[in-house]
Amino acid sequence: MPLTVNATANEAANNGIAIEFDRVSFSLNGRRLLENLSLTVSQGETLVLLGRSGSGKTTTLKLINGLLMPVAGEVRIGGRSSANWDPIRLRRSVGYVIQDGGLFPHFTVERNIGLVPRVEGWEGARIEARVRELLGLVGLDVELASRYPRELSGGQRQRVGVARALAADPPILILDEAFSALDPITRSEMQKEFHQLQQRMRKAVVFVTHDLREAVRLADRIVLMESGRAVVNLPSEEFSRSEHPLVRAYREAFSEPTETATKKKTRESP
Amino acid sequence: MNFLHFMSANRQQIIELTLEHIQLAGVSTLIAALAGIPLGIVITRIPALSKLIIGGANVIQTIPSLALFGFLIPAPWIGERASRLAILALALYGLLPLIRNTYAGIRGVDPAVVEAGRAMGLTDRQLLFQVELPLASGVIVAGVRIAAVLSIGLATIAAAIGAGGLGEFIFRGLAMVSNQVILAGAVPAALLALAADLLLGLLERRLNSFWLKA
């Protein structure tokens, strides 16, 4: 059955589960990067993969859009194993946002955003209308359309990156440290706006970060990864209260340094 | 004064030979580009071939030009006309810079950008023509520039096998032991090389500043 992006969205919406990892392992050059990972992401849900560098977060994302294939287990996208997808079709139904936008330096904002629609054969007027719509959606002025990525600020580039990922209205959105290169204020704005956007879009979102605050702010569910394993997998509010040692380690690492210092003092004094 | 006088007296022939020279160098550079750029692309896709192909082009480069002209004389069709033969030999010399620069240019494209393209669902062909080649174009034009300048210089030797071009004056001047006849060939040839270098250099800088500023 030939699947268009929209047909995939419907199919996924019908059974509710957009992404499913079924005991997935992955290794590269004899090194095991992912071990027996199982998780599901429903349509409309935001899953955050939290973990330090090398814990397997990015590998997990690349298994979703078929840039990598599992060595054991199965990744199912829209109910179908990623091995049975045409990789090009699969990738066009998974919007991908990377750090600093990953924009094509030789394309204008308009061409960057319109790339997938263009290779999907949309006609010019429709692409133009979609680009305008998306620029509005991510809070950018329409006049930026003719600029090149080098003429934009980091925050603007990141917004264009989000718009580009959304261009063909894919049912799934994956973001790899998408906001990590931004200054704290812009970052906080982007998180808020992205959260609001997701409330409206109801995509299946997988967001990779090493920032606990970002995770709590955006996630419906948080998966804490460590050495290629999902160590904790909890709804966001339960995650914040979890007494799992690694979760506590994260909380401590992200609490204010001054606060920790005073707490230690008060704890020691009596 | 004598030299300028000689030049103006023979301007008809100088212009003719210059045009011939441009044709020799231009056509050979074009052929080198048409063969070298695809070869350069192929070895970015099949890295196992890169040693063989770059090595082969390297070996050609080491053959002295007069010897290469000589080797090609027995070749059918090619050997029948001196200009054909000269163009083929010059094109062979131009291969190395074109293959190498195409390869290096494509390999030098930011891997994050290539991966972004792949992750967005671009096919191999789309990735090549919309991302890799445009971003490598500055480096590839640098290869064309080297090949063109090389070809303009070497084309003077093509006169030795009767292929024409400004080398005719140089060889004639050598036979006559006349500096002004040699210069009548050498000066326009040098100017041609400079002009090609300048123009292609300009294009290269434009492409680089346009595509590569992140």
pLDDT in tens, A108-131: 999 999 999 999 999 999 999 999
pLDDT tens digits, one per residue of A170-226: 999 999 998 888 888 888 988 999 999 899 889 999 999 999 989 999 999 999 999
Element at A21 (helix H, strand E): strand A17-28
> Bigger pLDDT: A3 or B201?
B201
| Euclidean distance between CA atoms B207 and B84, whole angstroms | 33
Contact B116 A119 (CB under 8 A): no
> Which of B126, B134, B211 is opposite residue A119, by nearest beta carbon?
B126
Contact A104 B214 (CB under 8 A): no
> Does A104 contact chain B (CB < 8 Å)?
yes
Contact A91 B135 (CB under 8 A): no
Place of tokens 């609490």: A255
Mean pLDDT of A3-17: 53
DSSP letter string, A203-229: -EEEEEES-HHHHHHH-SEEEEEETTE
> Which of B116, B123, B130 is opposite residue A98, by nearest beta carbon?
B116
The pTM assigned to this predicted structure is 0.82
| Euclidean distance between CA atoms B193 and B213, whole angstroms | 29
pLDDT tens digits, one per residue of B167-207: 999 999 999 999 989 999 999 999 999 999 999 999 998 88
Cα-Cα-Cα-Cα dihedral sign, residues A163, A164, A166, A172: negative
pLDDT at position A233, please? 93
Q: From the candidates A85, A99, A104, which should be mutated to test the interface with B, based on the most B CB atoms within 10 A? A: A104
**Does pLDDT of A13 surpass 50?**
no
pLDDT at position A98, please? 87
pLDDT at position A263, please? 53
Average pLDDT, chain A: 87
Per residue of chain B (214 residues), what is the pLDDT tens digit? 578 888 888 889 999 999 999 999 999 999 999 999 999 999 999 989 999 999 999 999 899 888 888 888 888 887 778 888 999 999 999 999 999 999 999 999 998 899 999 999 999 999 999 999 999 999 999 999 999 999 999 999 988 888 889 999 999 999 999 998 999 999 999 999 999 999 999 999 888 876 654 4
Place of tokens 């499913």: A20
Q: How confident is the model at residue A9 (pLDDT cuts 50, 70, 90)?
A: very low
> Does B111 contact chain A (CB < 8 Å)?
no
| 3-state SS, residue A94 | strand
pLDDT tens digits, one per residue of A57-87: 999 999 999 999 999 999 999 999 999 999 9
Q: From the candidates B118, B120, B128, which should be mutated to test the interface with A, based on the most A CB atoms within 10 A? A: B120
Please, which residues 145-174 of chain A have a Cβ atom closer than 8 Å to chain B?
Answer: 149-150, 164
**Does pLDDT of A7 surpass 70?**
no
Instruction: Sort out which chain A residues have CB atoms less than 8 A from B214's CB and list them.
Output: 105, 149-150
pLDDT at position B79, please? 75
Residue A219 contacts residue A207 (beta carbons within 8 Å) = yes
| Sequence-ordered strand ranges (E) for A29-177 | 31-42, 46-51, 72-77, 80-81, 94-98, 172-176
| Minimal-distance CA residue of chain A relative to B133 | A106
Instruction: Sort out which chain B residues have CB atoms less than 8 A from A96's CB and list them.
Output: 116, 119-120
Mean pLDDT of A17-28: 93
Both tokens of B136, joined, read 């490598």
pLDDT at position B211, please? 62
Measured in residues, chain B has a length of 214
Mean pLDDT of A144-169: 92
pLDDT at position B176, please? 92
Name the minimum distance, in Å, from the CA of A165 to any CA of chain B.
8
The dihedral region occupied by A44, where left means phi > 0, alpha psi between -120 and 50, and beta the remainder, is left
> Does B115 contact chain A (CB < 8 Å)?
yes
Contact A104 B117 (CB under 8 A): yes
> Does A90 contact chain B (CB < 8 Å)?
yes
pLDDT at position B134, please? 92
pLDDT at position A1, please? 40
Instruction: Sort out which chain A residues have CB atoms less than 8 A from B122's CB and list them.
Output: 88, 115, 119
